[in-house]
Structure 1
Amino acid sequence: MNNFVKLKRTELYDKVLTTPLTTIPKEFNLSDNGLRKICIKFDIPLPPMGYWQKIQYGKKVAKTLLPQQENEQEIKIYVDQNKNDNNPINLLKKIVTEKKW
């Protein structure tokens, strides 16, 4: 089933600052580079290098503020549920789970 996920800029900004960029794309069936492009397009700052390591070790981190925009944009992320069906690993998992041993 194909559908869209709708988020406000502030919601995506909060998600980007509270969850590593390698984890978020899995929710939307995207690549991390695809998520970066969305953030750049909507002027959402990404955490700087070393951000997650500093948090992991209890260091203080400076958060870049979300730039204000005149009208709050809604971000639509297209989620293709079937995207990974042709991935060899997913095909193998599907075969293994369907096969009765």
Structure 2
Amino acid sequence: MVVKLLIRCLPDSIVDTINAESLAELNRRQLIIWAEDVPVVESENEHSAYHLAARFQQVTPENLPEVLKAIAQIYTHYGNCLALTYLMEISAEYFGLIEKDKCTTT
């Protein structure tokens, strides 16, 4: 709380310097993923990834191998996209890593 108060009292030039140094340190430690480093998923690829993921409404013991294969295919060919996020979420629900209610929006 005291640190926040101190930072609010500092001149903008000092806060800008602190921010720049902090950003440089995070970058040096490779803790930042820059937008230019993330591959862009083309719309036709997004469509293909969606079709791979749309086959699954939930993960079951019977379809678990197919879900994992689809995750690997999407990640390998299309990178991080909404289809991958969807499959990861339903997989996390299946393994009890997240609750189903936390994935749905109200």
- Which has the larger share of helix? 2
TM-score normalised per structure 1 = 0.28
Bigger Rg, structure 1 or 2: 2
- Which has the larger share of strand? 1
Greater RCO, CA 8 A, separation 6+: 1
TM-score normalised per structure 2 = 0.27
